Amino acid sequence: MKLFTKIISVLLALVIFCAPISAAEGEAYNDSACPRIYVHGFMAHRIISDKEDESSPDIFPPSMNDIFSKVKDSVPALAAAYVNGGIEGFGDEACNVANDLMSQVYLDENCEVKDSSGVYFEYPAASSITKNSKLEFKYDWRLDPIDIAAQLNDFIDYVLDCSGAKKVNLSAHSLGGVIVVTYVSIYGTEKVQGACFNAAAVFGESYTGDLMSGKMQFNGKAFDYFLTYLADSTEYQYLVKAIIDAADAAGVFDLTAAALNALLDKVNYQVSTQVMMPMFCRWLTIWAMIPDDDIDESMDYVFNDLLKDKEHTALQSKVERFNTLVRDHKKETLIKLNEDAHMYVISRYGYTSAPVTPSYAQLSDGTVDTRASSFGATTALYRTTLSEDHIKSVAPEYISPDKTVDASTCMFPDRTWFIRAFKHDALPYSLEKFIDMLLEQEEQATVDTFEQYPRFLVYEAIDDQILPDNNYPKELTVIERVIKIVVELFKLISSLFKKIA
């Protein structure tokens, strides 16, 4: 009994002695923790009529009811315009309809908001912010990235002051990547512990460069590819894809593209000058997402063609300011960030690009080219593979299982992950969990750090899982596809009967 008492006493003494040590270790861990700020992408937040009043009505995006109502009300005017002025008359009236729908989000000739509209963003209460907080930075995505970066800097200062942390982690999606690079270009890396670029548009989008250079074009294959992208991972994907394949085989998409291109030849300049110019050309974030190789051509097209007879000094000055402060130094900025902070890049692939320009076949996540979001990967065109000679010239670990991506040419190949079959706008829990895990690392992690997260991954949308991409290809046999189509067809018929009943 005495021996037992002595053992208990020793154990209690050890507990009492170790408690301060554990507490000290806990404090050390908390000291190394820092708040996480999410910087979302283009159109991620709604534009409301009064940015100071959260309850004020939305002005963007317009609701489907507003769009259908406006189009319905405009049918008589559109018909009359076509009768009296042909295609050109119809084009003018169609531009008027588009302007009526979108004019509330247009900026003035100085690229400034002309009313009280904007994105509502109220800072969280100071008492609610800790070193482990996960926070969201909201911004008006129409504005100059340099001005948005200044707002981000103010928010970071507020978060650091409230939390007592010395640095923050930044998680950037899509246009958010441009904002973070702009922030680092101007304010440096002193306040950044880590940064994760997720499907980021830092190096632009090919279709944005095309559109801003006047290269709009329709293609039958582009419709096929893009509709397949939209159908992927949906409830009736195999049934829808079968219908798409049938339409493509029947030449429906080629005929549609030909008709649209014929129409475009007659109204392209009208659409560019009357709609694209007042809306997109004054959104400086659009200019920031033009690829570096296309910026000179885009500036020439807009300023010397679309705006040749109009005042554009303020717009051109701001575009040139961004080019000088940010665009011309992007690579140096990223290298500096990589040296001073933890750096992570997540790129997505497996889909086509937007179906309205010659760049439709670029491998992408449906929005941002994979080569751009990965900061330099070499990729095959959609539905093709890298050449055998190219594959043989690269170490096997850099080639994706489907032979469409070569990671060796990335700026940061050891800290760049690729996720196949992952759409651009998808921001599921599994991805948030992955990003959080990366940013929580005390040391820089690489593609070799986690067994469950190697360089090449695949997204399983049904179960919301990000898995190692080691089972490619997963091609279904003809019989398996037919079975899935029949099952989905019966499911659709059953749901329709239930609605009728």
pLDDT digits (tens, 9 = 90+) for 427-483: 999 999 999 999 999 999 999 999 999 999 999 998 999 999 986 666 778 888 888
Is residue 376 pLDDT above 50, yes or no? Answer: yes
Model confidence band, residue 173 (pLDDT cutoffs 50, 70, 90): very high
Beta-carbon neighbour count of residue 196 at 10 Å?
Answer: 26
Cis peptide before 61 (omega within 30 of 0): yes
Cβ-proximal residues to 232 (8 Å cutoff; 6+ apart), any chain: 351, 421, 423
Read off the tokens for 383: 């539905």
Query: DSSP characters for 131-194?
Result: TT-EEEE---TTS-HHHHHHHHHHHHHHHHHHH--S-EEEEEETHHHHHHHHHHHHH-STTEEE
| Percent of the chain clearing pLDDT 70 (strictly above) | 93
Closest among 220, 312, 303, 218 to 267, alpha carbons compared = 218
* The pair of three-digit structure tokens given for residue 109, joined into one six-digit string: 């000739």
**Is the backbone of residue 453 left (phi > 0), alpha (psi -120 to 50) or beta?**
beta
Q: Can you tell me the mean pLDDT for 62-87?
A: 80
Q: If you ran DSSP here, which 8-state letter would residue 476 be given?
A: P
SS3 366: coil
Res 7 pLDDT > 70: no
**pLDDT single digits (tens) 34-64:** 999 999 999 999 999 999 999 999 988 877 7
Calpha distance 359→361 (Å, rounded): 6
Task: Identify whether the C-beta of residue 204 lies closer than 8 Å to the C-beta of residue 353.
Answer: no
Tell me if 327 sits within 8 A of 238, measured CB to CB: no
Residue pair 214/303 in contact (Cβ under 8 Å)? The answer is no
The model's pTM is: 0.89
Residue 318 — very low, low, confident or very high, per pLDDT cuts 50/70/90?
A: very high
Q: Is the peptide bond before 473 cis (omega within 30 degrees of 0)?
A: yes
pLDDT for 100:
81
Q: Is the pLDDT of residue 29 over 50?
A: no
Q: How confident is the model at residue 495, as a pLDDT?
A: 83
d(CA 328, CA 442): 32
The phi, psi pair for 476, rounded to 5°, reads -85, 150
> What pLDDT does 21 receive?
33
Tens digit of each residue's pLDDT (9 = 90 or more) over 179-214: 999 999 999 999 999 999 999 999 999 999 999 998
Asked if the model's pLDDT at residue 113 lies above 90, the reply is yes
Taking the C-alpha atoms of residue 495 and residue 487, their distance in angstroms, rounded to an integer, is: 12
Angle 342-417-222 from CA coordinates, rounded to 5°: 130
Taking only the tens place, the pLDDT of each residue in 384-428 is 999 999 999 999 999 999 999 999 999 999 999 999 999 999 999
Predicted pLDDT at 142: 94
- Sign, CA dihedral 144-149-155-157, equals negative
Q: Which of the four pLDDT bands, split at 50, 70 and 90, describes residue 266?
A: confident
Average the pLDDT over each of 10-24, 238-252, 279-293 and give the range with the smallest value. 10-24
Per-residue confidence (pLDDT) for residue 32, from 0 to 100: 65
Please tell me which residue, 66 or 442, carries the higher pLDDT value: 442
Strand partners, 168: 192
* Mean pLDDT value across residues 370-382: 98
Whole-number pLDDT of residue 501:
62
**3-class DSSP state of 389:** helix
One-letter amino acid for residue 417 of the chain: W
Structure tokens at 371: 């080569």
First and final CA of the chain: distance in angstroms?
Answer: 78
Return the SS3 of 419. strand
**How would you write 36-50 as a 3-class SS string?**
EEEECCCCCCCEECC
Mean pLDDT of the chain: 88
Answer whether 377's CB lies under 8 Å from 416's CB: yes
Q: What secondary structure letter does DSSP report for 361?
A: T
Q: What is the pLDDT of residue 20?
A: 37
Neighbouring C-alpha atoms within 13 Å toward the C-beta of 247: 20
Alpha-carbon distance 146 to 270, whole Å? 31
Per-residue pLDDT tens digits for 147-171: 999 999 999 999 999 999 999 999 9
Q: Which residues pair with 171 in a beta bridge?
A: 38, 196
Q: State the pLDDT confidence band at 139, using cuts at 50, 70 and 90.
A: very high
3-state secondary structure of 197: strand
Cα separation, 276 vs 210, in Å, equals 13
Q: DSSP per residue over 46-95, as a string?
A: -EES-TT-TTSPEEESPPHHHHHHHHHHHHHHHHHHHHHHHHHHHHHHHH
Positive or negative torsion for Cα 61, 67, 73, 74: positive
Which of the pair, 496 or 167, is modelled with greater confidence? 167
Residue 467, phi then psi, degrees to nearest 5: -125, 155
Identity of residue 1: M
